Amino acid sequence: MTINTKVPVAAEARFPSPLRFAGCDPTTAIRYRTEHDRVRVYPCITQELDDPETVFERAGPREWITDDPANMTVAIVTCGGLCPGLNDVIRGLVMSLWHHYGVSRVLGIRYGYAGLTPAGLEPFELTPDNVDEIHRDGGSVLGVSRGAQDVAVMAERMREFGISKLFVIGGDGTQRGALELAGVLDGVSVIGIPKTVDNDILWVDQTFGFDTAVDIAARVISDAHVEARSTERGVGIVKVMGRDSGFIAACAALASLEANVVLVPEVPFAMEGADGLLGFLEQRLERKDHAVIVVAEGAGQEHFHGLKVRRDASGNKLHQDIGELLCERIESHFNEIGKPVKLKYLDPGYSVRSAPACGTDRIYCTRLAHAAVHAAMAGKTAMMVSRWSGHYVHVPLELVTQGRRKINPGGSLWRTVLEATGQPCLAEGARNGESCR
């Protein structure tokens, strides 16, 4: 499969990078990246690939930048929902802009793309002093919002502020907006930074905030297990985030090793019958007297029929509440067969979104932020910084916005989940007890 990995350039880099003066010792001099520094898109080469040499640009400082940093106005915007690590990225951007390059005018755009419209709040200036401690708190000091804004209006607003570099922190919808902005802004670098707690952005090993989400969700799963095993015929249900991708559910289940069933959007499941969820729970409770179910919020939508599709301000489909449905169906089923269960239902969604980043996410956020600054200063645009195969790279937004990353039901991650939980196939037509391995 051949893909176009060429990153657009907003402005030619002719100004010497101030990083060249950062070190006097030649042995510790800056290692500048060149256009020849590349990372393979497909690290595992197979005969099925038409172009096994497709490569991404490596991220990092360039020897030449677009202009004198003292004359630059840079802006940062956080869009979509909250996610652990937003403040860490903001802090990393500001620190790198000021201390690496000497940019002294950094604007914080208030409440997402709405802040780039005349109706939005005025931006405020970000400095090392006022971002120094923001990493200790969850959320975003800039605020967030959902919903598209008129691209022409936002572009005009940016011209009024004199913005030459824009850092856009958000998910796939946010990056689509960034791509549109880059298309109408001449000479302005628009750099995306991948943010989604669901970990569903294409062409990135993992999004920031995901480690934190998994840690918190795993602790809640362990709590559900304690509750379930401490009562007769106890069933714990934990609903985690994951509208279209079940990475949090899968990885949190593996992190806790207490889940007996994991339900994700990528794998439909049957509710009734010996091969369905209720039949499996009957067997599990007879054998162990307790069970723990981990369900992603977008799982099981095939069990809702005839309901009107609703969408949020960003155009994302609002899923029906699978957690409530599971509670209702499980409780009624076991009451009907005369073997009632004691249900405990936990939903840690807001606790995850609002949490400060854990240590590994904090490191990742700062490194992504620095890579984004280097890309913008070199004049790159319509691209996202990413960690791919362990390397920091530049990915064109044209590739990022082509879909969403999902669990492969035939891949190693899902196979590991099935082996760790021992759950059978819960699909229509599966033989009783058949493994999905």
Using CB atoms within 10 Å of the CB of residue 28, give its burial: 0 to 12 exposed, 13 to 18 middle, 19+ buried.
exposed
- Taking the C-alpha atoms of residue 175 and residue 190, their distance in angstroms, rounded to an integer, is 10
The CB-side HSE value for 124 (13 A sphere, CA atoms) comes to: 10
Strand 342-346 versus strand 55-58 pairing type: unpaired
- Taking the C-alpha atoms of residue 245 and residue 197, their distance in angstroms, rounded to an integer, is 10
Give backbone dihedrals phi and psi of 20, rounded to 5 degrees, phi first: -65, -20
Cα of 336 vs its chain's centroid, Å: 41
Spatial neighbors of 286 by CB under 8 A, at least 6 apart, are: none
Using CB atoms within 10 Å of the CB of residue 6, give its burial: 0 to 12 exposed, 13 to 18 middle, 19+ buried.
exposed
DSSP, collapsed to helix, strand or coil, labels residue 345 as strand
Active centre residues (catalytic): 198
